[in-house]
Amino acid sequence: MLSKWKKLFLFLLASTFMWLLGTSFLPSTINLAAINRNYAADRSYITVFPHRHLRNTSHKLILLWTKYFGSDNWNFRHDFLQSCSSSTCKVTSDRSSLAESDAVLFNSRDLDASTVFPKTRTPEQVWALHNSEPPYYIYTDLALFNGVFNWTSWFRQDADIYSPYGDYKEVDKDKKINLPNFHAQKSNLSLWVASSCTDRARRYRLINEIQKYMKIDTYGACGRNICPKNSPKCHHIFRKYKFLFALENGHCRGYVTEKFWNAFRQDQIPVVWGGADYDKIAPPGSYINMKHFSSPRAVAMYLQHVANNASLYNSYFRWRRRYELTPHQVVGWCHLCTALHDRQRPAQLYTDLRGWVDADTCHGYSVWGMMTDYIARFAFLIGF
């Protein structure tokens, strides 16, 4: 173990290096509200055709052409479509079914210049590109695929197929719902889980600042506490926390990952930091957005105020009287199935796919800022 003095020496050495490069290190305040972004949808990257051909079939077939992060069947289960309002679709990874497939699905992270595409394509067939990562984690040049795809399946709400990491819906009005005292169930204050140490969004820097004013227990690949991923023990531990910091690794349009939705599944208030318009995505009154505060200190003070007020804390769960979560695995599949049956959708082709993707300008950082963040992460890990 490094002594405190050795840690201090390494910390000062790294900080001096950054100063020599002409950048500043960990300012005492961060203006959270100033980083908010305003996006506008732009559909000018598509060519629309006057007629769309549709198969005269009651069931639509979706063919998985690429893998999904190594999975041949995209972790799909046939019961996913059972909860859809329009469940008349089937999914297969059998390429011999190409001729009768209504949609052919490709995953962006499993796509590159060497990908072998189908040799034939019928007029009724839709080719859709799915993506669940920020644009800078798509490692191939999408300009190579201009004029290839008809639909996008994305976490962005302006995509052809809206495929978020989670969703919610209204409950049956006749259903009686008695809410428990959520505050009384929680014994710990706040939690942050990060599965990746890659940090374009400066999450470590922000956590460092907030920890000056309140306690945050950190877990994951670069956290200070260890808990095996997907372990029942972890689930039991995590549920004890009042707040879960849902900090996204990219501030992109509509990018809200499972971190956010996991907070609801664990009966917690998510504290969010991302580029999405959460009011359009989240159940009303269900979350705390750090971009609504002027500084990390202001965030910490408010969270402690909520934590100490049972009535205020429980008010963040009132949405459960009117809404319930949708199983996160089914949302995109249901939207795709519905779209395949929609005769009003025009025939179209993405003639500038890269342009559409690049229109989602995620919040970027300079080289110096990125290097500063690496030092911030180092300080976080050694305990400063």
**Per-residue pLDDT tens over the stretch 217-239:** 999 877 788 777 767 788 889 99
What are the residue ranges spanned by the domains of the chain? 46-165+328-358, 183-325
| pLDDT at residue 11 in the model | 53
Q: What is the pLDDT averaged over residues 149-176?
A: 92
For 129, phi and psi rounded to 5 degrees?
-100, 120
Mean pLDDT of 48-76: 91
- Distance between CA atoms of 324 and 52, rounded to whole angstroms? 36
216 touches 191 (CB < 8 A): yes
Per residue in 24-48, pLDDT tens? 333 333 344 433 333 334 568 999 9
Q: What pLDDT band is residue 247 in, cutting at 50, 70 and 90?
A: very high
Cα first-last separation, the chain: 15
Q: Binning pLDDT at 50, 70 and 90, where does residue 132 land?
A: very high
Buried b (16+ CB within 10 A) or exposed e, 114-137: eeeeeeeeeebbbbbbbbbbbbeb
pLDDT band at 368 (very low <50, low <70, confident <90, very high): very low
Average pLDDT rounded to a whole number, residues 334-355: 93
Distance between CA 151 and CA 54 in Å, rounded? Answer: 15
Residue 355: other Cβ atoms inside 10 A: 16
In degrees and rounded to multiples of 5, residue 187 shows phi and psi of: -110, -15
Residue 296 has pLDDT above 90, yes or no: yes
- What span, in angstroms and rounded, lies between the C-alpha atoms of 291 and 33? 4
pLDDT score at 124: 93
At 73-104, the pLDDT tens digits run: 998 888 888 878 766 899 999 999 999 999 99
pLDDT for residue 279: 95
How is domain 183-325 classified at the architecture level of CATH?
A: 3-Layer(aba) Sandwich (3.40)
Flag whether pLDDT at 139 surpasses 70: yes
pLDDT value of residue 333: 93
Residue 102 and residue 126 in contact, taking contact as beta carbons nearer than 8 Å:
yes
Residue 248 burial by Cβ neighbours in a 10 Å radius (0-12, 13-18, 19+): buried
β pairing state of 347-350 and 103-107? unpaired
The least confident of 116-130, 266-280, 366-380 is: 366-380
Whether the CB-CB separation of 202 and 236 falls below 8 Å is answered with no
Backbone angles phi, psi at 67, to 5 degrees: -80, 170
pLDDT at 113: 85
Per-residue pLDDT at 365: 45
pLDDT for residue 181 is more than 50: yes
Q: What is the percent of the chain where pLDDT is above 90?
A: 58
Instruction: Please give the structure tokens belonging to residue 246.
Output: 């849902």
